Structure 1
Amino acid sequence: MSKLVFIGVLAFVLLSCKCKKEVVQKGDSSQTTLVDNVQTDESKVNNQEQTSVVEYNANTRGYFLKLVFSNNKLMFTNERDSNELKAVQLDKSQLDELNSMLGSINVDGLATLKDPTQKRFYDGAAIANLKITKNGKEYSTVDFDHGNPPLAIENFVSKLVSYTK
């Protein structure tokens, strides 16, 4: 009788672990699909130009901001668990300015930028970072204080954030 109970418990544990694994794998593939769709749409529009996706995140316990600039569209959300991004209407001059600023950023040097302040260490500022995906390769900054980015990306980040207010 104890052998039968042991086999039943073992089967239950193995099957329940498999179910959780499938859910995690499905969640990861849907996230990948979302990013792939953004990059696919972008490559259709910019066949000969370099493609870029910019993601800016800033968060702390009581604050959250996620910005995505891709395909000449700026979208953002202030809701931590939301996948729905609100679109920001930008005119041609604003888009040209953002694209010009983006083009002047040395993406290879993003990881070496120095954060000017460390207020985020004691909850004095939200933790922020910038990630640029260009031609399939990701370039990221170190974490920095929201509202006080490294000097090399300060104008670009400030301009992006200003459109969400």
Structure 2
Amino acid sequence: MYIKSFFLAFFTLLLLHCNAQKNNDSSNAITEKSSDRPFQKIELEEMTRGSRRMIVITPNFKEVEINRKITTLKTTETEWKNLQKLITQLNPDKIESFTPPTNKRFYDGAMAATIRVNIDGTVYSSQTFDAGNPPEQLATLYRKLVSSFKE
């Protein structure tokens, strides 16, 4: 009886271990594929009490909103390719894990900013960070997006 129990427990643990290993392999494949997929839209939103700036960029247009005043411009092919390059350098699945370096937005010392990237219908969003001081991993992308507010 003890031998049967031992073998039953042994095979159960072996099956659980194999199943867990198979699940880890499939999640790694999904992560690798997500960075290869093209993105459809990128957004930057900055806001505080009484003030809001937002930019939405797609392959065809760029919409810049500053305090409810919206300006629509055409997205150039070069601009879109540069953004694609910056996005592929990031792992979209990890955007949410990038930690903001400062917290001035908590007491209106800075606008609260968020970057969102839409890839195949899935939206990857950053943590909210202080406008002008993004997480290090998002700094280049942030500066590129903010330059559109000046146009």
- Aligning the two structures, in what range does the TM-score lie when normalised by the shorter sequence? 0.5 to 0.7
Q: 1:52 aligns with which of 40, 48, 53?
A: 40
Question: Which of 69, 82, 89 is the equivalent residue of 1:97?
Answer: 82
The answer to which structure has the higher strand fraction is 2
SS in structure 1 opposite 2:102? coil
Contact 1:88 1:164 in 2 (8 A): no
Q: Is the counterpart of residue 153 in structure 1 residue 138 in structure 2?
A: yes
CA contact (8 A) 1:57 1:66 kept: yes
Whole-Å Cα distance in 1 between the matches of residues 39 and 126 of structure 2? 19
Residue in 1 aligned with 2:124? 139
Per the normalisation by structure 2, the TM-score is 0.67
Rounded Cα–Cα distance in structure 2 between residues aligned with 1:137 and 1:91:
24
Measured in 2, the distance between the counterparts of 1:98 and 1:87 equals 18
Q: 1:88 to 1:147 in 2, by over 3 A?
A: farther
Contact 2:114/2:127 (CA < 8 Å) preserved in 1? yes
> When the two structures are superposed, what TM-score results if normalisation uses the length of structure 1?
0.62
Aligned position for 2:102: 117
| Residue deviations 1:87-142 (CA, integer Å, cap 9, x gap) | 23554433332221122221100111100111111111001111111001111111
Partner SS for 1:117: coil
For 2:75 and 2:52, the matched residues in 1 are separated by 22
Is 1:65–2:50 an aligned residue pair? no
Q: Describe the shift of the 1:57–1:119 C-alpha distance in structure 2 as closer, same or farther (beyond 3 A).
A: same
Larger RCO (CA within 8 A; separation ≥ 6): 2
In the aligned structure 2, how far is the partner of 1:90 from the partner of 1:73?
5
Query: Partner amino acid for 1:103?
Result: T
Question: For 2:149, what is the secondary structure of its paired residue?
Answer: coil
CA distance in 2, matches of 1:161, 1:56: 8
Distance 1:92 1:162 in 2: 17
Unaligned runs of 5+ in 1: 1-48
Contact 2:59/2:77 (8 A) holds in 1: no
**Hey, what's the Cα distance between the residues in 2 that align with 1:105 and 1:72?**
22
TM-superposed deviation, 1:55? 1.4
What is the number of residues matched between the two proteins? Answer: 114
Q: Deviations over 1:56-102 (max 9, x none)?
A: 1110013211110112532110124x6xx412355443333222112
